[in-house]
Chain A
């Protein structure tokens, strides 16, 4: 034994040492370990210490949203004249429309006796109702403009050319969906403007060849005012309760669902066709 050191007063077993270390840990350390060590936490935070480059790249590769996004965006592609940012702005407006539209659904009932009053309640009696309604309205008008500008940009930059033809077709589908969502939303305030706009719009459907009762060759199919495509759209021969609930379901559920699907494919195709504004 080294005479320089003081004598050992008491020996400590390994178990005792571990226990005293455990006692010394603060409640905060134990709480952090209980939370971050739990099965649920580790199922969500999947990639370990982000200080390691490997873990950071795993977190990027394993992310669903980044998987839709192109892996690289060139400095060139971020210049304003190359894209006008119109696709991104259209998507942002779509998100705004989804959020505000969902919130408006909490107060709006698609009933011919209530729809107009509910819309007026949102304008005058519901807290922040005017804000949400106006955001929905202006974002809807804006999205029609930005989607068309996006299409013009894609045409001018020749981005519809091979290998991007399929994405152009998807994009045309999205333009039509945007216009249909605008058209179906137009009826929902149930005022004079809405009623006559949809009356006029639905009458155009009556002029469809073969399946519209005023269209060319309708005699061949034999459709009449109560059996043609306009009747199917309105659920009747004039704009009434059936038309209102049909347009409501199309506007709030069916068309947005299809649009989300198309948008997902649209973004994924951008990645597959070697990214935004990338000619290589």
Chain B
């Protein structure tokens, strides 16, 4: 029976205090090492999943001189490569992210209606980015604009803003007053 097989253990003396403390230290060291290894691996794997090289266009790109954009126009030449429209309006210039705030499709600029229209669910946006029709809940995002040392515009899509007021201050809207670097002819 089962009891017979366990017989060889029955005459063992119970472990002394020192022995049981040694066992406990051994067990805790083992468990602690396992936990430490597990934490190190988890941290390493989280880092592993964040690539250091990305196969996508950079978020920053040089977009030419401000005066190359026509006043009152929406320029769509960067839409395909960078998903950005450059708008020169009044005395200012700003860049809008071509990313519908409803579900992220790319709207198109309809010059005759002065509207951005999204093909997916019909959201319409004005030239400043405010939604006027469709399900889009908030204005289009503007991205950071700055003037580089050579006077060319630098667009940085990592920095975004769509709140009225905030979006009309640098770097989300630059004023072309003729005195800044990258002069705009009057």
Residues in A lying within 8 Å of B, measured CB to CB: 103, 106-107, 121, 125-129, 131-132
In the assembled complex, which residues on chain A have CB atoms less than 8 Å from the CB atom of B53? Answer: 121, 125-126
**Cα distance, A129 to B51, chains bound together (Å):** 10
Contact at A107–B51, with CB atoms within 8 Å?
Answer: yes
Cβ–Cβ contact A131 & B52, under 8 A: no
A157 to B50, CA, bound (A): 49
Cα distance A125–B45 in the bound complex, in angstroms: 15
- Bound complex: CA of A106 vs CA of B45, how far in Å? 12
**A132 and B48 within 8 A (CB):** yes
CB distance from A120 to the nearest CB of B (A): 11
List B residues at the A interface (Cβ < 8 Å).
Answer: 44-45, 47-53
Nearest CB of chain B from residue A108's CB, rounded to whole Å: 13
Contact B47 A128 (CB under 8 A): yes
Residue in B48, B50, B51, B52 whose CB lies within 8 Å of A103: B48
State A121–B52 Cα separation when bound (angstroms): 9
Pick 24 A–B contacts, CB within 8 A, sort by A.
A103-B45, A103-B48, A106-B48, A106-B49, A107-B51, A121-B53, A125-B52, A125-B53, A126-B48, A126-B51, A126-B52, A126-B53, A127-B44, A127-B47, A127-B48, A127-B50, A127-B52, A128-B44, A128-B45, A128-B47, A128-B48, A129-B48, A131-B44, A132-B48
Using A127-B52, A129-B48 as known contacts, list a sample of 5 further A-B pairs with CB atoms less than 8 Å apart, ordered by residue number in A. A103-B45, A103-B48, A127-B47, A127-B50, A131-B44
Q: Nearest Cβ in chain B — how far from A136, in angstroms?
A: 13
The smallest beta-carbon distance between B49 and chain A, in angstroms, is: 7
Q: Chain A's nearest CB lies how many Å from the CB of B54?
A: 11
Distance, CA A126 to CA B50, complexed state (A):
8
Closest chain A CB from B82 CB (angstroms): 23
In the bound complex, what is the Cα–Cα distance between A103 and B47 (angstroms)?
12
Closest to B49 in A: A106
Complex Cα–Cα for A131 and B49 (A): 14
B132 → A minimal CB distance (Å): 42
In the bound assembly, the distance between CA atoms of A103 and B45 in angstroms comes to 9
Residues in chain A near residue B48, CB distance under 8 A: 103, 106, 126-129, 132
Q: How many Å from the CB of B3 to the closest CB on chain A?
A: 15
In the bound complex, CA of A127 to CA of B50 (Å): 8
Chain B, residue nearest A125 (CB) = B53
* B5 CB, nearest partner CB in chain A, Å: 9
In the assembly, what is the distance between CA of A125 and CA of B49, in Å? 12
Q: How far is the CB of A190 from chain B (nearest CB, A)?
A: 17
Residue of A nearest to B43 (CB): A128
Instruction: Give min CB distance, B2 to chain A, whole Å.
Output: 10
A33 to chain B, nearest CB (A): 28
CA distance A47 to B182 in the complex (A): 76
Q: Give the distance in Å from the alpha carbon of A129 to the alpha carbon of B45 in the complex.
A: 10
Q: Complex formed: what's the CA distance from A106 to B44 in Å?
A: 15
The 3 closest A-B pairs by CB, nearest first: A128-B48, A127-B47, A128-B44
Inter-chain CA distance A131–B45, complex, in Å, is 11
Query: Within 8 Å CB of A129, what residues of B?
Result: 48
In the bound assembly, the distance between CA atoms of A107 and B50 in angstroms comes to 11
Within the assembled complex, what's the spacing in Å between the Cα atoms of A11 and B47? 65
When distances are taken between beta carbons in the complex, the residues of chain B under 8 Å from A121 are: 53
Nearest CB of B to A60, in Å: 15
**Distance in angstroms between the alpha carbons of A103 and B44 in the assembled complex:** 12
The answer for the CA separation of A224 and B73 in the assembled complex, in Å, is 66
Enumerate chain B residues within 8 angstroms of A107, measured Cβ to Cβ.
Answer: 51
Q: How far is the CA of A125 from the CA of B52 in the complex (A)?
A: 6
Q: B50 to chain A: which residues have CB within 8 Å? A: 127
Contacts of A127 in B (CB 8 A): 44, 47-48, 50, 52
In the assembled complex, the Cα of A134 lies from the Cα of B90 at a distance in Å of: 60
B residues less than 8 Å from A132 (CB atoms): 48
Q: Which residue of B lies closest to A114 (CB)?
A: B55
Alpha-carbon gap, A126 to B45, bound state (A): 11
In the bound assembly, the distance between CA atoms of A125 and B53 in angstroms comes to 7
**Residues on the B chain within 8 Å of A106, using CB:** 48-49
